[in-house]
């Protein structure tokens, strides 16, 4: 699986496309709902402006007309009162003033009248108004010619009836306006209800989209985590095999150097020693043989030292504790680093595979102290605890960036070895500065871990 993913990364489907599609759908739904709500609100405003406002203005003009008609009715009542000392023509000026106001009111009312009013109503109102004023003009003509009794009779028979009919028509128009207002209110309520239902539908659709997107994200994340878990497991297996192969190779090279080359160099030294004995004391050949013998012995020591560095034989023969007793003084001699070694707890056996991992962590930590910290002193602590083995290396040098991702391969290898042992490695900074590396291995892993 790991090989297929590495060779064909396109086979791993990314959820990005689906997430972007879900986001686009959600945004489109939000924009559509916003546009719909805005359109409905604009429609409500237009309805209020075209119906409610115009209806209100029309009603005001109708009330103005009705008030003028009432004034005409009161004037006609006074004209019919026999106790009035004024002649009928005295009311002519008042009638003209009311007539002018009625004409203006009718003109304004015609402009603001609601669209539901039919032409017959408008024609009837205009014709009835014209007939009323024609009758009024005839009555005033009779009054001017001295026929006041006949004029009063016409007021009773014709003019008052026409004024009552006009008042009734205006009253009907007012009632119609009230009905129009109620219809407009009902229409507005229906629009509000429709908007509310659409908002609920939009919320339900949005929640459904969010739910489906969340399910998709959860499903995608689960698949990714499963793949990551498989990759992590395969990576651990690969790391274990690589480290195992590395240690096996180092052990083989170490044994070859110790056994083959060591024996060859030992035999060469013995042969040179025998040849030296058969050479005269003061001869040049004897001194050259001695020099070659010293070179062979120095090479033998270097080969043995290199063999121990690659894989200390003492680790397999005497265990981790004795290996540290040998290794730490060797590091002090080779690097000049002063190492304080502290050991505590009741020792228990550490098998070769767990011991080599702990030894490599110690080796890498001390190499970091020597190469990078700039410190001249280090502390190594080996603790045998009740349930674990703890190895700690501390220095007070420059320290390492604990939260950086740019760590070298050595620190990565230390983490891998800790995971292979089922343990834990921590990198921290002591109060005095520098770096503290702490490896903790479960006790059962020190005795049964297989390389």
pLDDT of residue 294: 82
* Integer Cα distance of 195 and 184 in angstroms: 16
pLDDT of residue 223: 84
Q: In whole angstroms, how far apart are CA 285 and each of 34, 277, 279, 292?
A: 106, 11, 7, 10
* Integer Cα distance of 425 and 427 in angstroms: 7
Q: Which residues of 234-262 are buried (b: 16+ CB within 10 A; e: fewer)?
A: eeeeebbeebeeebeebbeebeebbeebb
pLDDT single digits (tens) 220-269: 788 888 888 888 777 777 777 777 787 778 777 877 776 677 778 788 87
CB 159 within 8 A of CB 133: no
pLDDT of residue 7: 41
Q: Is 438 helix (H, G, I), strand (E, B) or coil?
A: strand
Q: Is 120 helix (H, G, I), strand (E, B) or coil?
A: helix
Return phi, psi of residue 431, to 5°. Answer: -60, -30
pLDDT single digits (tens) 149-171: 898 888 888 888 888 888 898 88
Please, which residues have CB within 8 angstroms of residue 185's CB and are 6 or more apart in sequence? none
Q: Which residues of 73-86 are buried (b: 16+ CB within 10 A; e: fewer)?
A: bebbeebeeeeeee
Query: pLDDT above 70 covers what percent of the chain?
Result: 89
* Integer Cα distance of 432 and 399 in angstroms: 10
Q: Please report the domains of the chain, with CATH numbers, ordered by start residue.
A: 16-216 (1.20.1420), 313-448 (3.30.565.10)
Is the whole model's pTM more than 0.75, yes or no? no
Structure token pair of residue 348: 């228990």
């Amino acid at each position: 699986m790991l090989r297929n993913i590495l060779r064909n990364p396109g086979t791993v489907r990314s959820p990005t496309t689906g997430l972007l599609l879900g986001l686009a759908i959600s945004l489109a739904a939000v924009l559509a709902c916003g546009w719909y709500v805005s359109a409905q609100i604009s429609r409500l405003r237009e309805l209020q402006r075209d119906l409610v406002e115009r209806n209100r203005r029309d009603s005001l003009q109708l009330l103005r007309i009705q008030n003028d008609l009432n004034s005409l009715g009161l004037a006609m009542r006074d004209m019919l009162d026999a106790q009035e000392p004024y002649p009928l023509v005295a009311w002519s000026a008042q009638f003209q003033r009311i007539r002018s106001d009625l004409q203006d009111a009718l003109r304004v009312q015609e402009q603001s009248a609601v669209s539901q009013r039919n032409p017959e109503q408008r024609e009837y109102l205009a014709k009835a108004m014209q007939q009323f004023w024609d009758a009024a003009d005839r009555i005033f003509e009779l009054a001017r010619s001295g026929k006041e009794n006949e004029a009063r009779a016409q007021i009773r028979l014709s003019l008052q009836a026409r004024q009552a009919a006009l008042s009734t028509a205006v009253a009907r128009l007012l009632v119609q306006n009230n009905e129009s207002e109620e219809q407009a209110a009902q229409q507005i309520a229906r629009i509000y209800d429709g908007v509310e239902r659409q908002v609920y539908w939009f919320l339900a659709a949005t929640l459904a989209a969010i739910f489906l997107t969340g399910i998709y994200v959860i499903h995608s994340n689960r698949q990714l985590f499963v793949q990551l878990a498989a990759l992590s497991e395969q990576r651990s297996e690969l790391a274990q095999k690589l480290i195992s192969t590395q240690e096996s190779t180092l052990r083989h090279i170490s044994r070859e150097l110790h056994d083959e080359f060591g024996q060859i160099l030992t035999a060469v030294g013995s042969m040179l020693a025998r040849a030296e004995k058969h050479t005269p004391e003061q001869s040049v050949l004897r001194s050259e043989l001695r020099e070659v013998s010293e070179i062979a012995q120095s090479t033998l020591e270097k080969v043995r030292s290199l063999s121990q560095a690659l894989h200390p034989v003492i680790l397999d023969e005497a265990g981790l504790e004795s290996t540290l007793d040998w290794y730490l003084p060797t590091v002090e001699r080779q690097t000049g680093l002063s190492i304080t070694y502290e050991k505590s707890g009741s020792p228990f056996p550490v098998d070769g595979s767990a011991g080599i991992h702990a030894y490599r962590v110690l080796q890498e930590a001390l190499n970091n102290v020597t190469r990078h910290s700039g410190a001249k002193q280090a502390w190594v602590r080996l603790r045998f605890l009740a349930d674990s083995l703890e190895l700690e290396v501390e220095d007070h040098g420059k320290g390492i960036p604990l939260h950086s991702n740019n760590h070298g391969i050595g620190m990565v290898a230390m983490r891998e070895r800790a995971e292979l042992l089922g343990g834990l490695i921590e990198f921290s900074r002591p109060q005095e500065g520098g770096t503290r590396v702490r490896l903790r291995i479960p006790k059962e892993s020190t005795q049964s871990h297989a390389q």
